[in-house]
Amino acid sequence: MNIVVAMKQIPDLQQIRIRNRKPVLDGVPSALGVIDKNALEAAVLLKEKQGGKVIVLSAGNEEVEETVKEALAAGADEAFLVLDDDLEGADGSTKAMVLAEAINKIEDVGLILFGEGSGDNYSGQVGSRVAELLGMPQAAYASSIEINDSSAVITRSLEDGDEILEVSLPVVVSVLGDINEPRIPSVTQILKAGRKPKEVLELEDLEINLTGLPEIMTVSNLAPETDRKQVKVASVEELLQALRTEGVI
């Protein structure tokens, strides 16, 4: 059984500067989504227990071919890439169609992992859309995954409790950022990442029609402005009292 990990190329968040309330992306190198790396680590841990291959799946512009080396260094065995400049900035719906069609071309897929949300937009919808398109069950917000023969036991950490599900394979799972601590790759894992097998397709190689889809353009995506309360305290006692008043402690 193979495990597919969908990973998104995003700008390296640590190198983005904000100017006029907008991110400046010029010259910012690309990286893979932070929680996507947790999904990859979960896949590698499962593979180490039960075998199979971990295949990293990514769709985007040509730069993805370089960016994906990060995943290959961190334990993925192969990469399956759909590269097309039209995919740069594509919305979740389009990306889901592309990923679902790509997954149809990969053999013996038992588990498809996503991060709970991408590192840039964090809409968290592509995993669900892919599950729908493939007609597969889906479990989101997973804090643990175990594989038993033909099913997966998944713990979902929800706001008011944990839910444990047993789901038949294949299944789409999105993982939480605290499911694990991604390992640090060794020097040779990094240096040999580029030599691992890669299958590269273009959009026209997939049997999907992206014309006529409704286009969604994000006009603005800002967090609401919040004012600090500017409470000044003169002593620890006053600080404690202020925190109590705010209901923090």
Partner 1 sequence: MNFNFTKEQSLLQAMARDFAEKRLEPIARQIDEENKIPDQIFAEMGELELFGIPIAEEYGGADGGYDGYVLVMEQIARVSGGVAMTLAAHTLGLGAIQKFGTEEQKQKYLPDACKGKTIASFAFTEPATGSDPKQLTSTAVKESDTYVLNGTKRFISNANQPGPCVVFARESESGEVTAFIVDKWCEGYSISEPWAKVGMKGGVLVDIYMENIKVPAENLLGKLGQGFPILLYGIALGKVGTATAALGGTLAALDEAVKYVKEKTHRGAPIAKFQAIQLKIADLKIKYETARWLCYRLGWLANDIKDPAAFAAEAALAKAFCGDNVVEAARIAMNAHGSYGLMKDYNIERILRDALIGPEIEGVADMQKMIVAGSVLKG
Judged by CB under 8 A, does residue 69 bind partner 1?
A: yes
Residue spans of beta strands (DSSP E) within 85-189 = 109-115, 138-148, 151-158, 161-168, 171-175
Three-state secondary-structure class, residue 202: coil
Closer to partner 1 by CB, 175 or 193: give it: 193
Shortest separation between residue 41's beta carbon and partner 1, angstroms: 13
Judged by CB under 8 A, does residue 28 bind partner 1?
A: no
The residues, ordered by sequence, that sit 6+ positions from 191 with a Cβ below 8 Å of its Cβ are none
Scan residues 71-130 and list those touching partner 1 (CB under 8 A): 73
User: Is the bond leading into 214 cis (omega within 30 degrees of zero)?
Assistant: no
Please identify which residue in 48, 62, 66, 146 interacts with partner 1, judged by CB under 8 A.
66
Cα separation of 1 and 6, whole Å? 16
Scan residues 164-193 and list those touching partner 1 (CB under 8 A): 184-188, 190-191, 193
Contact yes or no for 140/126 (Cβ under 8 A): no
Cα separation of 19 and 27, whole Å? 14
Number of residues located near partner 1, criterion CB under 8 A: 15
Cα separation of 31 and 101, whole Å? 24
Quickly count: other Cβ atoms within 10 Å of residue 143's Cβ: 15
Shortest separation between residue 132's beta carbon and partner 1, angstroms: 34
Closer to partner 1 by CB, 104 or 186: give it: 186
Closer to partner 1 by CB, 136 or 193: give it: 193
Judged by CB under 8 A, does residue 37 bind partner 1?
A: no
Please identify which residue in 85, 104, 146, 194 interacts with partner 1, judged by CB under 8 A.
194
**Which residues are near partner 1 by CB under 8 A?**
29, 66-67, 69-70, 73, 184-188, 190-191, 193-194
